[in-house]
Structures are given as C-alpha cells and as structure tokens.
C-alpha cells in the first residue's frame, strides 16, 4: 500500500468546488474516453448523488460517485484513479467510503457496471463481495459490454 491521500466529500457550495470538479473531469476524460465524460452532466449528476475524492499533495488522484435511485438500492456510478496513482490503495479506500455512505441509507444492495476486461476493477469489486449479476450487451458501445455486479448490504427474506 502506498501513501493514501485524504478522502474528502465534495460539497456543492464549497470553495474548492470548481477546482475539484475540473480535476475530476480531467481524470474522467482520460480514463473513460469512449464512454463520454461527466463534464456535461456533472452538476445534474451530483444533484441526487454523492462524491468522494482523494486529494494527495493538493491534487485530486481519484474519485467515486454513488447514488440512491431508490430506497432499496444504491449504485456506484463511477470510480476512477489516475493511472500514476494506482495500486496504492486509493481505489479500495474510495470504494469502502462509498459503501459506508450507501449503507447509511439502509439500502439492501449496491449495483455497479464494469468492463469485463478490466481485471483490476473486477478483482477490487470481488474483494468487497460484489458478484456478477449478468452481462449487459453493448453497454459502452455496440462491441463493448459490461458486467452488472451487486453487493448485498442488508440481507432480507425476499
């Protein structure tokens, strides 16, 4: 494990909003070029979502966006760490933080979508108990699919 930066929650009216959003958008465009950037939709996306980010040496090195589309489940919408800062525990810290935030809403499950070829992400999610629910054909593009994964937070009799 490397030197994990400070995990912070992005607050809409904070003084650092513009700087943090700009840095996250740069990370997002670099990591997800085919999938479209959050840049256009960032304000709308955060309306019903939460966002945690890691700052190290004054720079954002990773973030996770999560939401609660219903009272029954939550969703991890994006998780990204700068390539130069990977394999240092940032992704794990962000995912843990998002799961903790989601669990305060008493949702039963957390869902996410992931590229099946992204072995590092798949291993991270499995480490946290996520299981493959199914394959979504053409999720990213006609030839690029995604696994839908879930993690049970509060088991029920259902």
- Structural domains in the chain, CATH included, are 6-152 (3.40.630.30)
* Residue 41 CB burial class (10 angstroms; 0-12, 13-18, ≥19): exposed
Identify the pLDDT of residue 157.
45
3-state secondary structure the chain: CCCCCEEEECCCCCCCHHHHHHHHHHHHHHHCCCCCCCHHHHHHHHHCEEEEEEEECCEEEEEEEEECCCCCEEEEEEEEECHHHCCCCHHHHHHHHHHHHHHCCCCCEEEEEECCCCHHHHHHHHHCCCEEEEEEEEEEECCEEEEEEEEECCCCCC
pLDDT at 156 over 60: no
pLDDT above 90 covers a percentage of the chain that reads 41
Is pLDDT larger for residue 9 or for residue 101? Answer: 101
- CA gap 127, 3 in Å, rounded: 20
The angle formed by the CA atoms of residues 128, 5 and 31, to the nearest 5 degrees, is 65
Question: For 67-89, how does the pLDDT look when each residue is reduced to its tens digit (9 = 90+)?
Answer: 988 778 999 988 999 989 899 99
Answer whether 51's CB lies under 8 Å from 11's CB: no
Question: For 112-152, how does the pLDDT look when each residue is reduced to its tens digit (9 = 90+)?
Answer: 999 999 999 999 999 999 999 999 998 888 888 999 999 99
């Amino acid at each position: 494990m490397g030197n994990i930066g400070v995990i912070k929650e992005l607050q809409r009216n904070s003084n650092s909003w513009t700087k943090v959003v700009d840095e996250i958008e740069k990370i997002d465009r670099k990591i997800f070029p085919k999938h479209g950037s959050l840049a256009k939709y960032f304000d709308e996306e955060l309306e019903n979502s939460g966002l945690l980010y890691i700052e190290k040496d004054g720079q954002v090195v990773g973030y996770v966006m999560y939401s609660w589309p219903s009272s029954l489940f939550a969703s991890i919408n994006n998780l990204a760490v700068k390539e130069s800062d990977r394999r240092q525990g940032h992704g794990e810290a962000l995912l843990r933080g998002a799961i903790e935030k989601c669990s305060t809403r008493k949702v039963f499950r957390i869902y996410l979508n992931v590229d099946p070829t992204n072995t590092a992400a798949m291993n991270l999610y499995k480490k946290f108990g996520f299981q493959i629910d199914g394959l979504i054909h053409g999720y990213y593009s006609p030839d690029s699919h995604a696994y839908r994964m879930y993690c049970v937070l509060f088991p029920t009799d259902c």
